[in-house]
A and B are shown apart, each in its own frame.
Chain A
Amino acid sequence: MSRGTSQVRRSFEADVLVVGGGLAGCTAAIKARQTGASVILVDKGFAGKSGQTPFAGSYCVFNPEWGDDLDAWMEQVSSIGESVNDRVWTELCFRESYERYLELLSWGVRFGADGDARAGVEPQRDGPPVGPCKAAMMETRAPSMTLRRQVLKHGATIVDRTMIVELLTSGGQVVGAAGIPADAEDAVDIFTAKAVVLAAGAGGFRPGRWPIDNLTSDADCMAYRVGAEITGKEFADPHHARLDQAASVMFGRYGRDPEGGGPPRGRFLDSDGHPLPPMGVLDLDLDRAVHAGHGPLFIEMPDGVRWPMVGGAAGGMSVHKAEGIRPAGTDCSCNVAGLYAAGDSLGTMQSGATYAAIGQSVLGCSVTGAHAGAGAAAYAARAGGPAHPAGADVERAAEAITAPLRRSGGFGPRWVTQMLQNTVLPYYVLHIKHGDRLRAALANVEFFRDHLVPKLYATDQHELRLVHETRNMVLNAEMRLRASLFRTETRGCHYREDFPVRDDGQWLAWVILRRAGDGMELFKRPVSAEHRPLTAGGVQ
């Protein structure tokens, strides 16, 4: 550890830096180590227990020997995901799911209600009755420490409690990252690496109803700032939650049916006691019922108990694997050299415009973690000697990152976060969308971006983290609003009141966001011709 002008400064160096220690990040670290690369895994919290991994409960696993039909599974995803799933990634994940499943078993992750599934034996699998896809039930929470032990066993170094804030570049390629440790005041950590894997999850607006308040789109935002393409911001995740239990993940602790595993069961009722469609396009039908004046809503469990519900439990987050850094290939690279991503930080569009099959998200973390770790290690091996960031660039980054600590006044991050929540969390902004309301919210968010964010101050290192998280949430909001305005149709979890029809003629395409100077440019990337549905070509 060395001391800068006024700062505590730690410096680290490795072939591969992995940011984020959930399932994707841990897998990436292990896979990179298995190639012989030196690896540092850094986490804002505690690696292993990071992100949404402690709450994961289902793992989609495909195996022809169990009678699974690939064509039927692919059709389920394309049909429910409304044909904007990336079929390359959907198929890749299915095909590699069994191998990853066996590997997780070998690491000590347990599956099945009784947690004793044996390798090669079909575990208890389940799924909603919408198609053939099935998932093995995972033991919740326990995999966290299992994964951490495997990362350490494979020889990677773990740095806990450091939030990575910015990527460092040299000659247009990513050569490291800078972050802030929680446990030292006015401190900055500098990481030099030949390749960086971002596996820091997706993010929301601290919705408080889903345990994702720690996820603030840090990966998307820092990648965006160095020029990476970002996708999928228009496909909002409209999950609901119980009104009486914050962060209850819908139905009690960690989302499990209290009667022994499997997805939660129950039916939704409106304020008059009339049943609502079961799930529909995820939960958008609930928002529609409320919009029509039929709130409040309830969930009635099989035993007749009714719980009041609230919407927007995951406010600010997209459907898993929809949003994130747009991959340039199956090695999980992107359009910025040296930068890789995995898990919810990577917008593979594995599922498309909504959740198409239970357990796809955890599967995607496992598969992209493996690909990103191997891809980043291969890049590092080709790179030769480390390309260190210029000393002046490091100093500039450190100064900018810690500047809020030296601001004597301005705006507190908790207050700005609250103003952002008030602007973008209501259902009528990012769930039931309309151009007028999106533009109104965007005008406010632009004010936050231009006037409030530059004046955020922090009184200690904890608040410094809040400052950077708030800054990222404001950028995430701008991305979501612009992407939602850009896609002038309705598809999956993107519902426009003013464009209520799916338009395959115009929108069998992904929306890409990219930084252009100080502005944000948007463009379409069409779904490849061979992956278009047979019914494509006009308005459906």
Chain B
Amino acid sequence: MNKATRVARVETIKPGDKLPRRAFKPDNVQSMLYNAVLWNGHRIHFDEPYARNVEGYPGLVIAGPLLGDWLHQCVDEWLGGEGTLALIEYSNRIATYVGETLYSGGTVTACRPESGEVELDVYIENETGQVVTPGTALARFPGA
């Protein structure tokens, strides 16, 4: 991709632009595979009787970093290889459970075409519209 095209992309971005929203519905298999890949043996993520009866959760807890990964994917897909994710900040505020449908999305909050920098608000939301994992990100487009 030539420099002119890259500059064109960042120049088309405006504050208020929405990042595509995506639904996630992780099941027991995905939860197990994710925690296995991490080597995370925390039982609240795969042992449902333990999660319910010992820890008192309503189901298997979705691992916090998985929600963080979905924020990254939201930005990374939107960048489409034309820019890079330079910085992300987020926090897991509300627990989520296997069986819930969760949504990722975001909004452009600032755009500086002269430096190629774009600031974003990103979120993971649950079915009731609560933001469970809010975050901010900084993306950089080269060639500016």
Asked if A pairs with B, the answer is no
Hey, which bits of chain B sit against chain A, CB under 8 A? Answer: none
Hey, which bits of chain A sit against chain B, CB under 8 A? Answer: none
